[in-house]
Structures are given as C-alpha cells and as structure tokens.
Structure 1
C-alpha cells in the first residue's frame, strides 16, 4: 500500500461527514481530476479531509467522467485547531490577489479580508475563484481547515468592525521616518509581532502604501500596533509573505 502522504488529498465540505463505512459522492471537478488528470480508478486510495472530521483514508468506490464516490476506511488525523491570523490586505490586481490567497493559506491565515483603500487598484473580486485557490492550497500544504474569504470591505468599515480585544498589526512603509515627523522618537523591536496571539490581525496596504489620512485613523485606534517589515520598500504581495512568515513564527514559538 502506498504511504498515506503520497496519496491524492481532497477537501470535502463539512456537510459531508467523514466516518467509517460512509460512502460519499465526488464533486464533478474531483472526478475529472482523479480520473482524467491522475488516471486513478476504482479501488485506488485517496485522502479526504475537513476541519470538523479531520483526515481520512478512503477508496474510490466508483468513478466515471464527472461522477464518482468514495468509501471511507479509517481516520488518519483527528481534528485539531490551527492557530493563525486574520489577513486584511488592500485588494490587488487579479494575479497578485490570487498569489496572496495561495501564500496566505500556506502560512496559516484563518480569514482573508480584501480591503478597499484610497489607493486600491482592484475593485472587484471573484470570491468563488479565491475559495478554489484557498482549497487547492490547503490540499497541497496539508491543512485541515480552508480559510474563509470575506467580501471586500472599505478600510474605515473594517476598522470600525474590528474587535477591540484583538490586536491589529499594521505594516507601515518608512515607519521610523513617519514617527519622527510626528515628533515621536521610537525604537522598533526586531520581532514586530512580539506578544501576537491566534486571532490577531495583520493589515497590508496597497502599492504605494496607506494614505496619510488612513494612517492617522489607525493611530487613533488603541488596538492597532504599527510595525515595520524592514528598510526595503516591498511589493504588496511580498510584504504579505514577509509579514505572515514572521507572524506564523511568533505563534509557533509561543
């Protein structure tokens, strides 16, 4: 029998309970992927997962074109919490937004919130497409939970709805220069996410950064911590990867 980690891994919605001796229908895209792309057939084994039921070894009970079914065999992993952060990011052009969702899923984001800021480039988002990207990334990186994709929200509305008991880390370009211009002499910690906990948020701005007015609004919020990701000016999607890597490292070391 192949080692479990070499088997195809597919996400099933929580409304399809995974349990021993259960027979579950395949989604059409799963049947096409297994049968046409991977050339798998009846009797071949796969892994099925979701956040509620964990991960299960299953067998292909039937498959034909865009139809098929699975038979659950045994549980491989029990459900477990996946501590992570909420990522609020200024909506980017399509390819960059796709990249943010893929990388963010791999780096532990629990919820994505696309923001409409003063300098936002993109205004529309295909939520179904982003959900598909997040699902594929969760399948690849062996997460049990597929993160939520929120509907785009205006910057001010997001801040107004943020829970006061959770910290929100806001990445600010040239933070030291901005602090000095406001008469503050600050030293910034080497670990910008010191004290961060699961459920806290990271906010990344658009190309060109947040406007002065938007930064003034964040400074007035007691739950906001302004952070720097270094002296280099990063592309928005690079800033997402850098910030999430540091945040994930902080949670793993708590």
Structure 2
C-alpha cells in the first residue's frame, strides 16, 4: 500500500492536504480515485489508514480513518557527515534514512571539497526513503556548519563514534557493552581528516576512535558500514 509522509496532525476524521507534488504523484502516477486507500504518517501521531476524500483542480484531500501503527521511538542516533560530492551526499542521506538515523548533520572540515547542496532536495530524499522503508518518522537534515563549531557546542552526554581512516579500536570491540543512550557517528571528507582535527577528536572525552577495517572506504560506503554496525551492536537491530 502507498505510504505518504504528511505534516498535518493525524486523528480520526482529520482532513489532510498533501503538497501539490504529492497530489500529482497520487493522481497521475498511482491513479488513485475517491475512496482509494493509503497510509499516512507525520512522525508524531503514528501511522494512519486514510482514503482519498476529494479530487480538486489542484491537489487532493485525504481523510484519516483509523490508526494502523502507534508512534514508536527509534534509537537516538545522528550521522555527522563531512560534505563530499553532491551525488554521494544524496546517497548518504538516503541510506541514513533507510538505516534508522534520527538526524543527519552536515559539516565542513579542513579538507572538505565544497559542492552545491540543496537542503530541500535532501529533505525530499529523506522523506521518500522513510515512506519506502516503513519508518514512522523522517530524519532531520541539518544545514552544514564548521566541524569546530559543532564540537564547541557538543552535548557531552552524546557519545561520538569517530571513524578514523588511520586506525582505531575495531568498531565491534568498541561498541561491545557500550551504553545505548544518544550517539553520533562522524564520517570524514574524501581527503580524510587533517592531523590537527584527528588530534582534537581523539582528545574529546565523549569520543571513541574506531576503525572500519583494513581498507580505506569512500565516504558513502563508510557511512553505510558504520550505521549498519552500530545498529547491529547496540541499535534496533539488536533484540538484546
């Protein structure tokens, strides 16, 4: 069944007006008609069964009918990603949404290769991935900021898994027995972290430097691998 992310509040009988792009998708691509059913979610009120109530000249009106799934919490996991080429950033956002990251923070570093980033495009990618994977929320995409500024304002209660391409503790060893709580995963730029950045990160009391194995990974591969391993070790892939 079609799933659609909406921003409106959901409850019995609630009228929901999707965006024009969403309306076109429902009527022109999926050919929905009045009375046809779909699922909607907003990241707050769980998932609801809805139906097409009205077809307008511009857009449609949906009607929420009954709850399908209650809102459930997901692990408090952020991905902190140094900017890389646009296509790779888009892949990273898509896979972060699929793998259950709550938030993606974009940062610039000494060796960042700047490329034009459209946050609205990344938001749309995250929404589509959430719709396809069955999650009940959409990860937040945070505008780029300098790594130094991010670390200066860091909440020390959030552990930081720093993926260091020069080496570190094996990631599964580092996560064995680690507290669940709030975490973040930091992935560097295509040129790697500068020595002074690496030294700064290793000195942070809330950070743990880990190795993702014997091979140097591209940023998108590293992000996927790190998210997967974290979820398997202490995230929602681990029933223990």
TM-score normalised by length of structure 1: 0.88
Aligned partner of 1:157 in structure 2 is 149
Partner secondary structure for residue 118 of structure 1: coil
Change (3 A) 1:198 1:137: farther
* CA contact 1:31–1:64 (8 Å) conserved in 2: no
Deviations 1:114-171 (A, max 9, x none): 1101111125421111111111110010111111111101011111111112210100
- RMSD (Å) for aligned C-alpha atoms: 1.5
Aligned partner of 1:109 in structure 2 is 101
Q: 2:219 aligns with which of 233, 236, 239?
A: 236
* CA contact 2:80–2:184 (8 Å) conserved in 1: yes
Partner secondary structure for residue 173 of structure 2: coil
Aligned partner of 2:207 in structure 1 is 224
* CA contact 2:110–2:194 (8 Å) conserved in 1: yes
Partner secondary structure for residue 88 of structure 1: strand
Distance 2:208 2:70 in 1: 36
* CA contact 2:158–2:181 (8 Å) conserved in 1: no
Instruction: Find out whether 1:171 has 2:153 as its counterpart.
Output: no
TM-score normalised by length of structure 2: 0.93
Partner secondary structure for residue 182 of structure 2: coil
Deviation for aligned residue 1:26: 2.3
Partner secondary structure for residue 143 of structure 2: coil
Rg larger in 1 or in 2? 1
Change (3 A) 1:36 1:222: same
- What are the residue-to-residue correspondences of 1:1-254 with 2, within 5 Å? 7-13=1-7, 16-64=8-56, 66-175=58-167, 188=170, 190-194=172-176, 195-250=178-233, 251-252=235-236, 253=238, 254=240
Q: How many residues align?
A: 236
Deviation for aligned residue 1:192: 3.5
Change (3 A) 1:196 1:97: farther
Deviation for aligned residue 1:64: 4.1
Deviation for aligned residue 1:28: 0.6
